[in-house]
Amino acid sequence: MATANRINGDLNNTEVLRKTLEIRPDSSYASRSLAIPENEDDHAVRARYRPFLHRHDVAKSDWVSKLELSTALKMAEADMASNERLKVLVLYGSLRQRSYSRLLAYESARILFRLGCDVRVYDPAGLPVKDDVNHDHAKVQELRDLSRWSDGHVWVSPEQHGILTAVFKNQIDWIPLSTGSVRPTQGRTLAIAQVSGGSQSFNTVNALRILGRWMRMFAIPNQSSVPKAYTQFTGESSPEDSTAFLDAEGGSRLMASGNRDRLVDCMEEFVKYTIIMRQHFDLFNDRFSERVEREAKRAREEAKTEEKEKAGEEGNSKSLGGANVVNGIDVNGV
């Protein structure tokens, strides 16, 4: 086959690109929300795990409500017709009063909530440092229960000294790879993001991706990294001044930028992947090595059971054979 002459060659390898279909936005889904209505939500869950929610007038007019998300909304709507809402656990990695990882986690949660997810944000305050004695601690059990409950995770960590924080890593360390026959994170999807006080970096998201793989999770291809986070969020706003609070969208919001667009990309992609992956959860958890191990264990248990039954039969036979038995009655000495 003849090929065209190139001066510099195909530097971007465009020849191997697969033809993609352009999906046009559906205007009928503009401002559409699949969020759980307050009157249908669990009030205890809403109070404890949804601190990202704003009052109704703010939520219906903020930047999240205006996002063009028609494709993901259609997918979520179709999935919800026959399944439960996607269950998403959000973790962040700072205990500071104005924590930018927490603020980014809240913005992530707001996007996911609009897309119909049951979103729960875990507060790491009060979680003990990982040891061998606090397994029954309330905060440890809460974290493990949330992970077991979830279909997917969103991890947001600050970058400190070039890597993720101890506050974040401590949460993952408390989630075991296995609890009996249950693996609290295996087969779940994962979205990752980081905030930095300095210039752009990807050290933390790269570390989170490795950590997610170790926890047997499926990390989505996209990721979010927000540099100079202290310049990326608006200031706080008091709800006492209702007009100013509404204009500020509740305050402490992520400002419009390419960083914000990337975060939206990640949350949209996360929902799409989780919808597709969740229906095959058991299939992805089926592993050759574990099947071999289970069958070997089952064979050993069956062998032990047969040995016990055989030993019992031989014992009964010896007992009966050594006695003078007539019609099942021992007449020895009669």
Beta bridge mates, 88: 119, 152
Which stretches within the chain are classed as H helix?
43-49, 56-59, 70-80, 100-114, 138-149, 166-173, 203-214, 242-247, 258-278, 281-284, 288-321
* 13-22, 230-239, 261-270: range with lowest mean pLDDT: 13-22
pLDDT band at residue 8, thresholds of 50, 70 and 90?
low
pLDDT, tens digit, for every residue of 261-298?
Answer: 999 999 999 999 999 999 988 887 788 888 898 899 99
pLDDT, tens digit, for every residue of 291-318?
Answer: 898 899 999 999 998 888 888 776 666 5
Which stretches within 182-287 are classed as H helix?
203-214, 242-247, 258-278, 281-284
